[in-house]
Amino acid sequence: MKFCKTILAGAGIAIGLAAPAFAQNEDLTICFAYQTLETEFWVAGHAAMTQSLREQGIEVIEVNANEDANRQLEQIRDCITQEVDGIIIIPQDGESVIAMIEEANVAEIPVAVFNRPPNPDNPHDAIVVVADNVAIAEAAVEHLAEQVRALDLGRPAIPLIMVGALADTNAIGRREGFFNVVNANPDLFGEAIEVPTEWDASVALANLESALQANPEVDMIFTSSDFLFPQIRAALAQRGRWAPSGDPGHMILGGLDGDVTACELIKEGYVDSTGVQDLFFEADATVTALLEAIAEGDTSPNEIIRDEGFALTQANIGEREMDMWGCVLLAEQ
């Protein structure tokens, strides 16, 4: 690797992306390869980056792998054959993207990976824009722990985590953040229940229903992604536990992403907190870093750009609502 540096998200990121000025952008072609647009986060990130690129006159070749890593590798190879100037990847997972980065390096085409980083053993060069999933999850779960402590149950509370696909570095980091807080409070929490989701809504709902059937005493649920709140709502409603805070039936509930649904549910009192990824910062950083590399003739940039994020809670939503991308999109609807 040539170099590696870390950039932290700054405060006050504007809505939408700034348009970095690079000469002859109208002659550039960028390949944008994404694994799916199933969640609000991916849809919003895709829209922000493609809009920014096209507003600068840059041609964008879009390819959707539909959650098939092998198909995504073939799509990257096809983009290389077309001699694109740069590649942006939202990969299926942290392992499969390593081969894609390697092929781009060999072809001397700069590549940027958005939000889902390659696994730590990646030996190749890429711009990687990633949220600090451990810290963001810790911030969200610490607020949940405060709510549990306020209940004064007189017994250890039973926490449950809906775990993402563990081939994904994001899922690993979020699980680590959850357990950092749970394990730091042994007087507050009993043994945690882990519910696998594989980032699939149907799998998540089936496994959550089974877990709640076997463990009806669960006191707190943390989902590793906000996109699973509809499944949580369905499972809790069947058991009379879908209730806002202040209601005796309220399930202490948190997530991570910061999407539109999470914003609505925090406002309505059903969700206590969510960890927020600064989507607009991440999208802006991805586009800017890739175009800078192209302008400088750097065919294998190697850089980590880190999004620190924060937790939006029922306690701070009055002050920080418009710092969360999901609330911004909700206000525009």
pLDDT digits over 212-229, tens only? 999 999 999 999 999 999
Alpha-carbon span 16 to 9, nearest angstrom = 15
State the Rg of the chain over Cα: 20
220-223: strand order across its sheet: 193-196, 159-163, 220-223, 252-257, 273-276, 310-313
- Is the pLDDT assigned to residue 2 strictly greater than 80? no
d(CA 308, CA 13): 13
Residues 136-190 have pLDDT tens digits of: 999 999 999 999 999 999 999 999 999 998 888 889 999 999 999 999 999 999 9
Sign of the dihedral defined by the CA atoms of residues 330, 310, 199, 168, in that order: positive
Where do runs of H (alpha helix) occur along the chain? 40-55, 69-81, 96-106, 133-151, 169-183, 201-214, 229-238, 260-268, 279-296, 317-320, 325-332
pLDDT of 45 over the 60 cut? yes
Question: What pLDDT is recorded for position 11?
Answer: 31
DSSP state letters, 95-118? THHHHHHHHHHHTT--EEEESSPP
Per residue in 282-292, pLDDT tens?
999 999 999 99
pTM: 0.79
Separation between Cα atoms, residue 177 and residue 223, nearest integer Å: 12
Tell me the C-alpha distance between 185 and 141, whole Å. Answer: 11
User: Strand pairing partners for 7?
Assistant: 305
Give every strand in the sheet of 59-64, ordered side by side.
6-8, 303-307, 127-131, 111-114, 86-90, 29-34, 59-64
pLDDT digits (tens, 9 = 90+) for 93-107: 889 999 999 999 999
Measured CA distances, 119 to 93, 101, 290 (Å)? 9, 12, 20
What confidence tens digit (pLDDT) does each residue in 67-100 have? 899 999 999 999 999 999 999 999 988 899 999 9
CB burial of 128-140 (b: ≥16 within 10 Å; e: otherwise) equals bbbbbbbbbbbbb
pLDDT in tens, 258-276: 999 999 999 999 999 999 9
What gap in Å lies between CA 54 and CA 93, rounded to an integer? 27
pLDDT at 3 over 80: no
Given a cut of 60, whether residue 191 has pLDDT beyond it is yes
Provide the pLDDT for residue 37.
85
Q: 30: which strand partners?
A: 60, 86
**How far apart, in Å, do the first and last CA atoms of the chain sit?**
44
Determine contact, residues 181/240, Cβ cutoff 8 Å.
no
Residue among 195, 185, 193, 197 at smallest CA distance from 159: 193
Confidence band for 8, pLDDT divided at 50, 70 and 90: very low
Residue 222 CA to residue 132 CA, distance in Å, equals 17
Report the DSSP beta bridge partners of residue 64: 34
